[in-house]
Amino acid sequence: MPRYEITIEKDACDGIFACLTRDPRFVEGERGLATIDPDGDPIYDCEGDVTDTAERVVATFDDDRMDEAKQAAAACPTDAIVVKEVDG
């Protein structure tokens, strides 16, 4: 299974939350912007590493759900989300 990284640039996110309807790991954060919560999915038990800084949220997963993350990124009207495959 590929390991992939999801990045949300906070400056670009404007809280429209189109991503939330495509992938349940995307949730509304404290500041009214999108963030990622591996436990936010009520159906799948996800494990991921999430780093949340002032500038961005970066999450790394090694499951088979990269397509869902890509759909969430494609739905973002401000292009605040990037999904890419990463090594190891």
CATH number for the domain that contains residue 52: 3.30.70.20
The pLDDT confidence band at residue 44, using thresholds 50, 70 and 90, is: confident
Question: What's the token pair of residue 64?
Answer: 């088979």
Tokens of 6: 């999801």
Biggest distance spanned by C-alpha atoms of the chain: 33
Range of the structural domain that residue 41 is part of: 3-86
What is the number of domains present in the chain? Answer: 1
Query: Could you tell me the pTM of the whole model?
Result: 0.92
Hunting for tokens 């990622």 — which residue is that? 36
Of 17 and 43, the structure prediction assigns the larger pLDDT to: 17
Q: What is the distance of C-alpha 49 from the center of its chain?
A: 11
Q: Regarding predicted confidence, which is higher, 1 or 26?
A: 26
